[in-house]
Chain A
Amino acid sequence: MTADRPTWFENPAIRVELWPALGDTLLMTLFATLFAIIAGLPLGIWLYMTAKKSLAANPVVYRVVSVVVDIGRSIPFIILMIALIPLARFITDSALGWQAAVVSLTVSAIPFYARLVESALREVSAGKIEAVQMMGAGRWQLIRQVLVPEALPGLVSGATVTSVALVSYTAMAGAVGGGGLGALAISYGYQRYQTDTMIACIVLLVACVGLIQLLGDLLARAVDHRK
């Protein structure tokens, strides 16, 4: 650490830049989670419905969607992020800033959440589905009235897991111009040896994860009527 520089709350990196960086991280996480749910939920339902012996079994569709989803999940985020710079530029008119980072964060979170949705839906017992089929319900009614409401606690937990994963991804996004706490930690904490900035960033990231997990657990409990 360089001597004779202002530290902690006198350090401009912390005093001036920490809070906007926290805001960027939260915004990235919030929007990416939101978009991942919007796109991942239907994708996960599609996977569930087309799976073998399911309600709209279609092995070909399932295989294709499955492979695409798994490719999406297996590309390292940092590579995906760089590969998606043109897409981010097209959507947000910029390759930098938190808005651009949301694009690649969302793309990486969609397949992740879709798989969590699929496994949450599989937890809904076949008996419940048959009971509602016997009422004469069609596929859409089954999805809206049985699958989603019965799997809701699992869907919420999945969203929480996705959101927490996204917090750590935002740190990586920071490395390639995404801003946020990750960028601050890298450019000041790592590259300029400011241990105080590094610690401040890490503490806030831990707090973010803790807060998301807490809210997620509370919400999951509120929608769970199984006990």
Chain B
Amino acid sequence: MIELRDLRKEFAGVTALEGISLSVAAGEIHGIVGRSGAGKSTLIRCLTGLEPATSGSAVVDGLDITQQRGAALRRSRRSIGMVFQHANLLDSRTALANVEHPLQVAGVPRAERRARARELLDLVGLSDRAGNHPAQLSGGQQQRVGIARALATEPRILLCDEPTSALDTQTTGQILSLISSLRDRLDITVLIITHEMSVVREICDSATLLENGAVTQTGSLQEILSSPGTPLAKDLVPLPPSPQGIDGRALEVSLAGTSLAQVFALARAAGAPEAEVESGTLETIDGKPVGRIRLLCADRDARDALSSILRDGGIHVEEAA
């Protein structure tokens, strides 16, 4: 549904994107993660033609956006819905009129677009706020209107640029589950740009890590979680920073399908030295235990012994500094 091939973007000699290739299958929710300045926003701007790409192609729903200009580009954009960090609603319009707007631009008759906008507001659970202006709505409500607006022209693709970065944790959860349920109901493909790994963990089927304008890792969530030690896997199950004064005694264990009990059983069977769990993150994703644990051994020798035993047992471990 979305296919990027060697997409490059340079600004006055500075390379913002160096040959991005990635594909997102129909119906998938794909997350693009990276720090600020990694090129996420540039990527989405090239994908929508708001910024012309230097070279490469960005095929969205069968059409190469980078090859289009003027009226053709404007027509293609109608098949892409876009959700922004700050909903970017027009203050001069009511919630209903904001949702109607894409249909107005597309020339849909007034009565028809009004009816469709009401359906959409209902879909995002805001039918009672139709007559309110954005300033009278909370951030989460504004983002709901923004999502309804993005879906007005029945696009097959929804691009979300940091959709929850301006929202609190609870509202973030609500918006994410809304996006996820809309994907199921409307059969759309979703691309989410975010710097929050929690977004990926909660709703993404697959993810791409962007660093300094290049893809450094990409794959489905299962692939990522079953490759412990990779940057995305580490970010998905973060560990708190290690405390002071444990130099040479800490061991970080990544769990991908192996339970903590199995790890301990393995260590005990091999007669490994005792260790304590210092901190950790454990989750069950798709029925499989996933997590990272920091173990604290008595001393460096005990740590090294435990490390080699677990490694021999096929468990990913890293000696922390």
Shortest CB distance A94–B (Å): 43
The distance in angstroms between the C-alpha atoms of A152 and B93, with both chains bound, is: 12
List chain A positions with a Cβ less than 8 A from chain B.
Answer: 125, 127-128, 130-138, 141, 145-146, 149-150, 152, 223, 225-227
Task: List the B side residues contacting A150 at CB < 8 Å.
Answer: 90-92
Shortest CB distance B148–A (Å): 13
The distance in angstroms between the C-alpha atoms of A42 and B71, with both chains bound, is: 24
**Does B300 have its Cβ within 8 Å of any Cβ on chain A?**
no
Q: With contacts A225-B133, A226-B135 known, is A135 near B90, CB below 8 A?
A: no
| Contact across chains for B105 and A137 when beta carbons are under 8 A apart | yes
The distance in angstroms between the C-alpha atoms of A136 and B13, with both chains bound, is: 30
Task: List the B side residues contacting A152 at CB < 8 Å.
Answer: 92
| Contact across chains for A135 and B135 when beta carbons are under 8 A apart | no
Task: List the B side residues contacting A135 at CB < 8 Å.
Answer: 77-78, 101-102, 105-106, 153
* Residue in chain B with minimal CB distance to A125: B88
Task: List the A side residues contacting B92 at CB < 8 Å.
Answer: 149-150, 152, 223, 225
**Does B35 have its Cβ within 8 Å of any Cβ on chain A?**
no
| Contact across chains for B78 and A136 when beta carbons are under 8 A apart | yes
Task: List the B side residues contacting A134 at CB < 8 Å.
Answer: 48, 50, 77, 80, 82
| Contact across chains for A138 and B74 when beta carbons are under 8 A apart | yes
Tell me how many residues of B have a C-beta within 8 Å of chain A: 28
**Does B86 have its Cβ within 8 Å of any Cβ on chain A?**
yes
| Contact across chains for A226 and B91 when beta carbons are under 8 A apart | yes
Shortest CB distance B153–A (Å): 7
Query: Using a CB-CB cutoff of 8 Å, which residues 65-110 of chain B contact chain A?
Result: 71, 74-78, 80, 82, 84, 86, 88-93, 101-102, 104-106
Task: List the A side residues contacting B88 at CB < 8 Å.
Answer: 125, 127-128, 130-131
Starting from the known contacts A127-B88, A133-B50, 11 additional A-B residue pairs (CB-CB under 8 Å) come to: A127-B86, A128-B89, A134-B48, A134-B77, A134-B82, A135-B105, A136-B105, A137-B74, A141-B105, A146-B90, A223-B92
The distance in angstroms between the C-alpha atoms of A226 and B133, with both chains bound, is: 8
| Contact across chains for A128 and B90 when beta carbons are under 8 A apart | yes
| Contact across chains for A132 and B77 when beta carbons are under 8 A apart | no
Task: List the B side residues contacting A130 at CB < 8 Å.
Answer: 50, 84, 88
Task: List the B side residues contacting A149 at CB < 8 Å.
Answer: 90, 92-93
Number of A-B contacts (CB under 8 A): 66
Most buried by B among A128, A134, A137, A227: A134
**Chain A, interface SS category:** helix
| Among all A-B residue pairs, the 8 with the closest Cβ atoms | A136-B74, A131-B88, A149-B92, A135-B102, A127-B88, A225-B133, A135-B105, A136-B77
* Residue in chain A with minimal CB distance to B132: A225
The distance in angstroms between the C-alpha atoms of A145 and B76, with both chains bound, is: 20
| Contact across chains for B82 and A131 when beta carbons are under 8 A apart | yes
Shortest CB distance B50–A (Å): 6
The distance in angstroms between the C-alpha atoms of A148 and B84, with both chains bound, is: 22
The distance in angstroms between the C-alpha atoms of A199 and B91, with both chains bound, is: 45
The distance in angstroms between the C-alpha atoms of A54 and B134, with both chains bound, is: 26
The distance in angstroms between the C-alpha atoms of A189 and B53, with both chains bound, is: 69
Contact residue among A125, A128, A225 (Cβ-Cβ distance under 8 Å from B135): A225
The distance in angstroms between the C-alpha atoms of A135 and B107, with both chains bound, is: 11
Shortest CB distance B34–A (Å): 20
Q: Can you report 30 residue pairs joining A to B where beta carbons are below 8 Å apart?
A: A130-B50, A130-B88, A131-B84, A131-B88, A132-B101, A132-B105, A133-B77, A134-B82, A135-B77, A135-B101, A135-B102, A135-B105, A135-B153, A136-B75, A136-B76, A136-B78, A136-B105, A138-B71, A141-B105, A145-B90, A146-B90, A150-B91, A150-B92, A152-B92, A223-B92, A225-B91, A225-B92, A225-B135, A226-B135, A227-B135
Task: List the A side residues contacting B133 at CB < 8 Å.
Answer: 225
* Residue in chain A with minimal CB distance to B74: A136
Task: List the A side residues contacting B48 at CB < 8 Å.
Answer: 134
Task: List the B side residues contacting A127 at CB < 8 Å.
Answer: 84, 86, 88
Shortest CB distance B12–A (Å): 13
The distance in angstroms between the C-alpha atoms of A227 and B153, with both chains bound, is: 29
Shortest CB distance B170–A (Å): 24
The distance in angstroms between the C-alpha atoms of A105 and B133, with both chains bound, is: 38
Shortest CB distance B249–A (Å): 50
